[in-house]
């Protein structure tokens, strides 16, 4: 469970709701038709913009936002260094026994290719293509939320313009302007809240998540190719440790690592 997302949503919405309630009544801000035009209009624009399969796929992707980080980069580095040592002692075929112990399907696929004796050039090409398309699918998910974040305030503006025109057309006494204009403004309010507390932050989180996952997979590709070319496990470890922040580095070889430095 990703705590930050929960705190952010509860905190952000909580403060907005408190502010709405404190100055009058919460019901002043509830308006069915306004919600319908902003949510429905945004969904409509997104459905014109993307194939229906991609829009439905977003629901699956959005769940990732609430899921905690599942894999530790450090663990994967340890596995790769271990595999490097095994393959140097017992040959690449011996990595077959590692497959059952890996949970990451990408790593499993990479080991399979190496064990099957596929040429390094093809291993690299297959894994890089796979990585590109995983990145592409992630990017699409974040992009759909960004698009929703851009359309929502526009739909709010459309709703407010409808309200304003209706108000101005039947304006008789100045006393009735206030409440009518309040209703007109509610769609803009909905659009701005949805964009800035829901759609855009979720798009941001999906991008951050994606780059973490792609980084880990890039590290796996580099590690696997290094293993296949028979690199020294120590050099491999140093290469892979460069991928993570100095504070998180735990070497198998240097217990009191002189590598504790390189902050920045």
Q: How far apart are CA 87 and CA 69, in angstroms?
A: 30
Number of residues that bind a copy of itself (CB under 8 A): 110
Q: Which residue is associated with the tokens 């990451």?
A: 104
Q: How far apart are CA 68 and CA 72, in angstroms?
A: 11
Q: How far apart are CA 91 and CA 70, in angstroms?
A: 31
| Contact stretch for a copy of itself (CB under 8 A) within 44-52, 79-87, 90-98 | 44-52
Phi and psi at residue 259, to the nearest 5°:
-90, 10
Which spans in the chain are helix H?
3-22, 32-49, 52-63, 73-90, 96-99, 105-115, 120-169, 177-194, 200-228, 233-241
Verify binding: residue 52, a copy of itself, rule CB under 8 A: yes
* Among positions 62, 86, 115, 158, the unique one binding a copy of itself when judged by CB under 8 A: 158
Verify binding: residue 186, a copy of itself, rule CB under 8 A: yes
Q: How far is the CB of 145 from a copy of itself (least distance, A)?
A: 11
In the window 90-149, what residues touch a copy of itself (CB under 8 A)? Answer: 105-106, 108-109, 112-113, 118, 122, 125-127, 129-130, 133-134, 137-138, 147
| Contact stretch for a copy of itself (CB under 8 A) within 40-48, 72-80, 81-89, 90-98 | 40-48
The 8-class DSSP code of residue 247 comes to G
Verify binding: residue 62, a copy of itself, rule CB under 8 A: no
* Among positions 62, 94, 115, 197, the unique one binding a copy of itself when judged by CB under 8 A: 197
């Amino acid at each position: 469970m990703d705590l930050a997302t929960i705190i952010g949503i509860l905190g952000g919405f909580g403060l907005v709701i408190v502010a709405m309630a404190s100055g009058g009544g919460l019901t002043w801000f509830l308006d069915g038709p306004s919600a319908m035009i902003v949510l429905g209009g945004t969904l409509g624009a997104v459905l014109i913009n993307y194939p229906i399969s991609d829009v439905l796929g977003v629901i699956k992707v959005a769940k990732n936002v609430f899921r905690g980080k599942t894999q530790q980069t450090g663990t994967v580095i340890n596995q790769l260094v271990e595999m490097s040592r095994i393959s140097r002692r017992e040959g690449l075929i011996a990595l077959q026994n590692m497959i059952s112990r890996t949970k990451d399907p990408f790593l499993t696929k990479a080991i399979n290719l190496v064990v099957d004796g596929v040429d390094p050039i093809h291993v690299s090409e297959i894994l890089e293509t796979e990585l590109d398309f995983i990145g592409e699918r992630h990017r699409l998910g974040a992009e759909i939320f960004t698009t929703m974040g851009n359309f929502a305030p526009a739909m709010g503006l459309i709703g407010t313009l409808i309200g304003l025109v209706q108000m101005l057309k039947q304006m008789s006494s100045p006393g009735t302007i206030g409440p009518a204009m309040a209703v007109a403004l509610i769609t803009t309010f909905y659009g701005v809240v949805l964009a800035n507390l829901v759609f855009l932050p979720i798009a941001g989180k999906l991008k951050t998540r994606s780059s973490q996952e792609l980084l880990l997979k890039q590290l796996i590709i580099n590690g696997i190719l290094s293993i296949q070319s028979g690199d020294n496990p120590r050099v491999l470890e140093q290469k892979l440790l460069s991928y993570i922040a100095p504070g998180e580095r735990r070497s198998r070889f240097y217990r009191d690592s002189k590598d504790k430095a390189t902050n920045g």
